[in-house]
Amino acid sequence: MNINWYPGHMKKTKEAIKKSLSLVDIVYEIVDSRIPISSQNPDIDGIIGDKPRIKILNKSDLADEKSNIEWIEYFKKVGIPAVLVDSINNKGLDDLINLSYILTEGKRKRLELKGIKNKPIRAMIVGIPNVGKSTLINSLSKRKGAKVGNRPGVTKSNQWIKVKGNIELLDTPGILWPKFEDKNVALNLAFTGAIKDELLDIENLTIKLVEKLNTISEDYIQKRYKVSIEDKSPYEIIVEIGKKRGCIISGGEVDFSKACNIILDEFRKGVMGRITLELPH
């Protein structure tokens, strides 16, 4: 990841987020729809406490539609309100706003009894790197108006962005860490591009990705690359794909590394189709 997490840093981050939490009515916790568990912070419940929270399943455009619905049902069952969002195409934003209203109704009613009407709902975004925090802030703010609180004397961390539906968003998201120590979590993060490629062994990673995709569905690789996966190891499948794509080095050998880069890149961009890597069950 682009941030080195160590215990002192985690403690500081937690404290900073807890401070910001006191300023908001609701928290938007963003995860990646393709890996909703791997892309969440392991301590999120403790950090947010009993503040109203919405789990935003972002990048829903890249995840399998049926699995998206399964995840929403799952979170509903465990009592966590969740919405599907595609921050690139501004999808799901109205659902997010409507749900924000539902979850803050009690507080708004109490304020109304005190004569305070139409007070904006204040929200902040939290999530691990690469889940789409900045993209969501941009897509929400594009919908309406400029920043508020953007004047001298207001610290940068306390600027509020006015968004549709009388909601104000804290302009600085809380950046959290994932559960690195779990091997599957680390792999899922690497597959989806959340860990910088320079830190990874791309060839091994692609072998693991091909293996994983084939266990989820036999179709993904076969359909995209028109290769048979039957009785072939992931390595052999990648070589096959390399040949088909003309990844050949001098001497006629397959450029394995190039083939791996193509596969990883196409998976991450959704070219292979909409694929969810982990399911509630």
| Site for ligand G4P, rule CB under 6 A | 58-59, 61-62, 86-88, 127, 129-135, 193
What b/e readout covers 59-77, taking b as 16+ CB neighbours within 10 angstroms?
bbbbbbeebbeebbebbee
CA-based nearest residue to 211, from 203, 197, 253? 203
Looking at the Cβ atoms of 131 and 169, the one nearer to ligand G4P is: 131
Count of helix runs (H) and strand runs (E) in the chain: 11, 8
Sequential DSSP letters for 85-120: -BTTTTBSHHHHHHHHHHHTHHHHHHHHHTT--SPP
Looking at the Cβ atoms of 55 and 59, the one nearer to ligand G4P is: 59
> What's the min distance (Å) between Cβ of 57 and ligand G4P?
9
Task: Report the alpha-carbon distance of residue 76 to residue 72 in Å, rounded.
Answer: 6
> What's the min distance (Å) between Cβ of 139 and ligand G4P?
8
Looking at the Cβ atoms of 197 and 201, the one nearer to ligand G4P is: 197
Q: Are 128 and 176 in contact (CB under 8 A)?
A: yes
> What's the min distance (Å) between Cβ of 194 and ligand G4P?
8
The pairing of strands 160-163 and 147-148 is: antiparallel
The residue assigned the tokens 């682009």 is 2
Q: Which residues, 6 or more positions from 122, have their beta carbon under 8 angstroms from its beta carbon?
A: 23, 24, 25, 26, 160, 167, 168, 169, 170
Looking at the Cβ atoms of 25 and 61, the one nearer to ligand G4P is: 61
> What's the min distance (Å) between Cβ of 134 and ligand G4P?
4
> What's the min distance (Å) between Cβ of 176 and ligand G4P?
10
Looking at the Cβ atoms of 161 and 254, the one nearer to ligand G4P is: 161
Looking at the Cβ atoms of 186 and 248, the one nearer to ligand G4P is: 186
> What's the min distance (Å) between Cβ of 89 and ligand G4P?
7
> What's the min distance (Å) between Cβ of 88 and ligand G4P?
4
CB atoms within 10 A of CB 257: 15
Name the residue type at position 63.
A
Task: Report the alpha-carbon distance of residue 236 to residue 22 in Å, rounded.
Answer: 55
> What's the min distance (Å) between Cβ of 108 and ligand G4P?
29
CA-based nearest residue to 211, from 249, 178, 246, 184? 184
How is residue 154 written in tokens? 């207001």
Looking at the Cβ atoms of 90 and 222, the one nearer to ligand G4P is: 90
Looking at the Cβ atoms of 19 and 196, the one nearer to ligand G4P is: 196
Q: Cα separations (Å) of 208 from 95, 100, 161, 245, 279? A: 36, 39, 41, 20, 18
